[in-house]
Amino acid sequence: MPLLTMKDICKSFSGVYANDHINLSIEEGEIHALLGENGAGKTTLVNILYGLYEADSGEIFWNGEKASFRSPADAIRAGIGMVQQHFSLVRNMTVLDNVILNLPGNAAFLKRKEAGEKFARLAAAHGLLVDPGAVVADLTVGEQQRVEILKALYRNVKLLILDEPTAVLTPQETVNLFQVLRSLAGEGYAIIIITHRLSEIMEVTDRVSILRSGRKVAELDTASTDVHELSRHMIGHDIDEMPPPDIPPREAPMLRLDSVSLERKRLAQPLHDIRFSIRKGEILGVAGVEGNGQKELAEVICGIRRHTSGTIFLEDADISHLGVRPRYEAGIAYISDDRQGDGLVPDMNITENLALRAYGKPPMARHGLVDARAMSKVAAEKTQEYQVLASGRSGAATPVRLLSGGNQQKLIIARELEEGGKLIVACQPTRGLDIGASEFVHQKLRAWRDAGKSVLLISADLEEIRMLSDRVAVLFGGRVVGVLTREEASVQALGLLMGGVTAAAAEGAGA
Amino acid sequence: MMNDIGLFLQTAIIMGTPMLYATLGEILAERSGSLNLGVEGMMMTGALAGFLVGTTTNSPLLAVLCAGLVGAMGSMIFAVLTVSLKANQLVAGFVLTIFLSGLANLIGSGYGNSTLPKTFTSKISAIHIPGLSEIPLLGPAIFEQSILVYLGILTAVVLWLYMNKTRFGLSLRVVGENPSFADNAGIPVTLYKYVHIGAGGFLAGVGGSCLTLLIVPRWMESITAGMGWISIALVIFALWSPARAVFGAYFFGALRGLVFKLQSAPITISGKAFYIPAQILDLLPYLMTILVLVLITLGKRKENRPPLWLCRPYFREDR
């Protein structure tokens, strides 16, 4: 008898099916993956299981008995724990207070000492070491995840749901997490892991259910499948091999930085003496370990930060003293790496977010007044062209915070890639996106380049950099430590430069 | 001189007591994520209800209890509007103050000349603890006070224990910090909000009744005179902690006492008498509040900030 059976689960958001007759069953000791692109309905499904959403129809059987979880409290009581993608930890409370929060067995007066001892035993038994007295805000992301898992274990769950658990982890932390999950499965815990990373599924799971557009399209034994089959089910077709760039860049430079520096007090990462140029019809990749000046460089070029010395030229015109809007009007667009922070206004709707750049000019404005109808028309065209899917509700009036990451990114791109644009500064443009959405972003960037325009592609993903870039600059400690051609830019060569080992230093060490 | 200061401290604590109740109540509401600007109005209705029940029943217990219940009823208007109907908290609270103040003034307009029975005042007036109250300076302030003053301190202690040592207090903090986390943990968010907004209203009502039963002690129009607003500011001053609220309320009570003192007794500098305009003295509490706000904002300590979800409505399926 399976521990959990979900039968014919349906859930729609104003007419759009997020879950369309989904069946799922999990045994004890099984690690089961829910695979699917952003917006495929994975999170909706587990939210129904966890009592956060109410299914429109369908049944849930827990331990063979029909169950209905109306709230997370019901689910927890039955023995279901969930570690959400964005952790549910109160940042300015201690680890222990977060763990013992609202336990059914709590006495009116909390017994923190006893609870601390139980927590420590549990942590040690599962290799999940965290200091119970630490304040959550001081913990690393990996430690916070451990707290979330311990919180569930502390409540004696039998089924643990993890929503995109590795999205925020370093490779080493991921290895640790998988060890923990395997040992938990060995003890009889059932685990559901939501992911869109194929390699992780192959590494850690027993079975895979694949969702696409709200439907379950396949359920496979991990042992008898491979990444190709998984991806075929997930996106509905094979991943296209990217064609190599066939149009060589022109000679004329689009953007030139001449000895640009950003040196101010209390700056996390200053920039020193940056010199490079991007030609027309070229994608220049910027590689580097994060925090070495990427964000600062992007903001200096877009005019968000004013550099302290040096000159920036756009097509031979000095734009050093222009602000953000004049630079945008001169043709510099910006895809921010922080979608919710400075790329979009999360609480504003799709139409408004699409109008953020150009609301002051025709067609969106007439005689200095914003034309709402024109704005809606532009929004309708762009959401169509860029296939932005608002999950139900109110179409273009949906607040963008309710969109999936991929759809949010499409919105930013739809807004920034304007007809008159010349250069786009793309900062981590595919971070957190699934394969389909990443592919879409890459296509758009290539099309932009092939139209004779330029791209500054800042990315922590070396594969992405190597796949798209005509040349690659490497940032280290706020300096450009090397600019490599496509042919020179092997992973090894980039890796050395990203670690601060310049060609000269390497030769010096060799000699 | 010593005697003067002793009396001044005694007055400061009495004057601070209505604000202490109201501040403690507002701390509860704000900890659940609800900024209820209706405090002034709830104090007004509490003041009137306490007075009316006091004059008719001659029972301090019933008077204070009814004052609290009337305050709690007022706060339920706010709770329904903001928690269930997701209305804007600032607007709802402001409207509540206007409504309840007007209502209290209307109903109370005929009672301006009534007085409490002598037997009532004697039941509620200062308890004179022999020996201890003779201690110079602090004696009268600490050991010669009304039961209402002692109850106020007791309430603060109980609330401190409640918030820091009990499971309910822990849950309350999370509701105010992030209701969706609370929901995930199985805490009944809506219930917590209703209960703590209601408790806040109860305490505001009790605070109001201190004015008509103990301090003034009779009904007059707009009797609270801005004490409700200062109590809201005091919550920030107290950094959302019941313990600090005690000191904050008494400090502001002292400022109020000082206003009376300086109005009646001029400051004498080299033979010349100066009267400080009452308006400037009345500014003091507000100036202090602004100063404290600035200091808090400059400080970076994490616990010194409002509950994260203060003033935001919570929809479960909308995140």
Q: Which domains are seen in chain B, by residue range?
A: 2-304 (1.10.3470)
Query: Do the Cβ atoms of B174 and A73 come within 8 Å?
Result: no
Residue B304 pLDDT class (50, 70, 90 cuts): low
The structure tokens 């804007």 sit at B88
Which of A196-205, A303-312, B77-86, B267-276 is predicted with the least confidence, judged by mean pLDDT? Answer: B267-276
**B78 pLDDT higher than 90:** yes
Tell me how far CA of residue B315 lies from CA of A102, B84, B188, B197, B256, in angstroms.
20, 10, 13, 18, 42
Q: Under 8 Å CB-to-CB from B1, ≥6 apart: which residues?
A: none
User: What is the per-residue pLDDT across A292-311, written as a single tens digit (0 to 9) for each?
Assistant: 888 899 999 999 999 999 99
pLDDT in tens, B188-214: 999 999 999 999 999 999 999 999 999
Is some CB atom of chain A closer than 8 A to the CB atom of B162? no
| Residue in chain B lying closest to A83 (CA) | B184
- Angstrom distance (rounded) from CA A466 to CA A286: 10
The structure tokens listed for B202 are 């109860």
The DSSP string of A2-49 is -SEEEEEEEEEETTEEEEEEEEEEE-TT-EEEEE--TTSSHHHHHHHH
In Å, what is the CA distance from A175 to each residue of A54, A169, A180, A462? 35, 9, 9, 20
Percent with pLDDT over 70 in chain A: 92
Name B165's Cβ contacts closer than 8 Å, sequence gap at least 6.
A109, A110
Q: Which residues pair with B144 in a beta bridge?
A: B128
Helix (H/G/I), strand (E/B), else coil: A281: coil
Residue A395 token pair = 């179409």
Touching check for B168 and chain A: CB below 8 Å?
A: yes
Q: How many CB pairs under 8 A join A and B?
A: 74
pTM of the model: 0.71
- As to burial, measured by CB atoms within 10 angstroms (0-12 exposed, 13-18 middle, 19+ buried), residue A201 is buried
Whether the per-residue pLDDT at B263 is higher than 70: the answer is no
Q: What is the 3-state secondary structure (H, E, C) of chain B?
A: CHHHHHHHHHHHHHHHHHHHHHHHHHHHHHHCCCCCCCHHHHHHHHHHHHHHHHHHHCCHHHHHHHHHHHHHHHHHHHHHHHHHCCCCHHHHHHHHHHHHHHHHHHHHHHHCCCCCCHHHHHHHCCEECCCHHHCCCCHHHHHEECHHHHHHHHHHHHHHHHHHHEHHHHHHHHHHHCHHHHHHCCCCHHHHHHHHHHHHHHHHHHHHHHHHHHHCCCCCCCCCCCHHHHHHHHHHHCCCCHHHHHHHHHHHHHHHHHHHHHHHCCEEECCEEECCCHHHHHHHHHHHHHHHHHHHHHCCCHHHCCCCCCCCCCCCCCC
Nearest to A137 among B174, B183, B302 (CB): B302
- Beta-bridged to residue A210, according to DSSP, are A35, A218
DSSP for A61-122, please give it: EETTEEE--SSHHHHHHHTEEEE-SS----TTSBHHHHHHTT-TT--SB--HHHHHHHHHHH
How confident is the model over B35-60, as a mean pLDDT? 95
Region A16-30: mean pLDDT is: 90
Mean per-residue pLDDT, A398-421? 85
> Which residues in chain B have their CB less than 8 angstroms from residue A135's CB?
302
Contacts of B184 in chain A (CB under 8 A): 50, 52, 72, 82, 84, 88
- The continuous run of DSSP H or E covering A444 comes out as helix A435-450
Q: Are the CB atoms for A181 and A26 separated by under 8 Å?
A: no
Cβ(A36)–Cβ(A42) below 8 Å: yes
pLDDT band at residue B5 under the 50/70/90 scheme: confident
pLDDT at residue A214 is higher than 90: no
b/e map A473-493, b = 16+ CB within 10 Å: bbbbebbbbbbbeeeebeeeb
Query: CA-CA distance, B138 to A39, in Å (whole number)?
Result: 68
User: H helices within A168-283, ranges in order?
Assistant: 171-186, 198-204, 227-235
Residue-level pLDDT at A436: 80
How high is the pLDDT of residue A239? 47
pLDDT, tens digit, 9 for 90 and up, residues A59-117: 999 999 999 888 888 898 899 999 987 788 888 889 999 998 888 777 788 888 999 99
Over range B291-298, report the average pLDDT.
74
d(CA A324, CA A300): 10
Q: Considering only CA atoms, which of B239, B226, B233, B237 is closest in space to residue B282?
A: B226
Note whether B303 contacts A: Cβ–Cβ < 8 A.
yes
- Alpha helical stretches, state H, A281-422: 294-302, 324-330, 350-354, 372-385, 405-416
pLDDT of residue B302: 54
Residues of A with CB under 8 A from a CB of B: 50, 52-53, 71-74, 76-77, 82, 84, 88-93, 97, 100-103, 106-110, 135, 137, 401-402
Cα(B49)–Cα(B219) distance, rounded to whole angstroms? 10
Per-residue pLDDT for B226 more than 50?
yes
For residue A426, the model assigns a pLDDT of 94
- Cα torsion angle, A424, A428, A432, A434, sign: positive
pLDDT cut 90: percent of chain A above it = 38
Identify whether the C-beta of residue A82 lies closer than 8 Å to the C-beta of residue A163: yes
In this predicted structure, what is the pLDDT of residue B129?
75
Q: C-alpha distances in angstroms, A441 versus A129, A251, A288, A468?
A: 39, 26, 21, 11
A229-284 pLDDT, tens digit per residue, is: 887 787 665 544 445 556 677 778 999 999 999 988 767 688 999 999 999 999 99
For A94, which residue in chain B has the nearest alpha carbon? B170
Q: Does B317 touch chain A (CB under 8 A)?
A: yes
**Tens of pLDDT, residues A270-294:** 899 999 999 999 999 998 877 788 8
Q: Do A110 and B174 touch (CB under 8 A)?
A: no
Q: Which domains does chain A have, with CATH numbers?
A: 4-235 (3.40.50.300), 241-331+418-511 (3.40.50.300), 345-417 (no CATH)
Interatomic CA distance for residues A85 and A122, integer angstroms? 23
Q: Rank A126-140, B97-111, B222-236 by mean pLDDT and report only the highest.
A: B97-111
Read off the pLDDT band of A510 (50, 70, 90): very low
Span A12-30, average pLDDT: 87
pLDDT of residue A502: 67
**Span A58-71, pLDDT tens digits:** 999 999 999 988 88
Cβ pair B186:A93 closer than 8 A: no
Please tell me which residue of chain A has the smallest CA distance to B181: A88
Alpha-carbon distance A325 to B102, whole Å?
Answer: 51
The single-letter code of the amino acid at A107 is A
Beta-carbon contacts of A320 under 8 Å, excluding residues fewer than 6 positions away, are A307, A310, A311, A312
B183: confidence class by pLDDT, cuts 50, 70, 90: confident
Subunit contact A52:B302, Cβ cutoff 8 A? no
d(C-alpha A472, C-alpha A466), whole Å: 8
- The answer to whether A168 touches A88, Cβ cutoff 8 Å, is no
Segment B113-154, tens digit of pLDDT: 888 888 888 888 777 777 777 777 677 777 778 899 999 999
Tell me, what amino acid is at A13?
Answer: F
pLDDT digits (tens, 9 = 90+) for A331-389: 999 999 888 888 899 888 888 998 888 888 877 888 888 888 888 888 888 888 888 87
B177 shares contact with chain A (CB less than 8 Å)? yes
Q: How far is B166 from chain A (nearest CA, A)?
A: 4
Query: Which residues of chain B from 181 to 200 reach within 8 Å of chain A, CB to CB?
Result: 181-188
